[in-house]
Amino acid sequence: MSQIKPLGNRVLLKRIEEDEQIKGGIIIPDSAKEKPQEAEVVALGNGKKGDDGSAHEFSVAIGDRVLTSKYGGTEVKLGDVDYILVDEDDILGIVA
């Protein structure tokens, strides 16, 4: 479990890594891999405040698999796990 609590409308995501090996048996080094765009929601902030002061509900829930922008968010490393902290608006969709 993460030790980071997002604030406001932010969502903490854990990147879902692709397999390191392709069909031909070639191993792709980390430096040549693209950043995965699929991630798992691990923590939610308090929500964005509306004009009346109430927080709106998030469109995602903890445990959802989501797609994110390739270059959006702030990368965070906690131990040897890579996380990304994004605004809820930077989440493109939920993987069904």
pLDDT tens-digit series, residues 17-71: 765 545 566 666 666 555 658 999 999 998 888 788 787 889 999 999 999 988 8
Give the per-residue pLDDT at 56.
82
DSSP bridge partners of 17? none
Q: Does 89 score more than 80 pLDDT?
A: yes
Burial tier of 13 (Cβ tally within 10 Å: 0-12, 13-18, 19+): buried
| Stronger pLDDT, 54 or 13, i.e. the higher one | 13
Q: Is 0.85 topped by the overall pTM?
A: no
The reply to whether CATH 3.40.50.1100 applies to domain 10-94 is no
Average of per-residue pLDDT across 74-95: 92
Both structure tokens of 57: 């509900």
Alpha-carbon radius of gyration of the chain: 15
Both structure tokens of 70: 């390739």
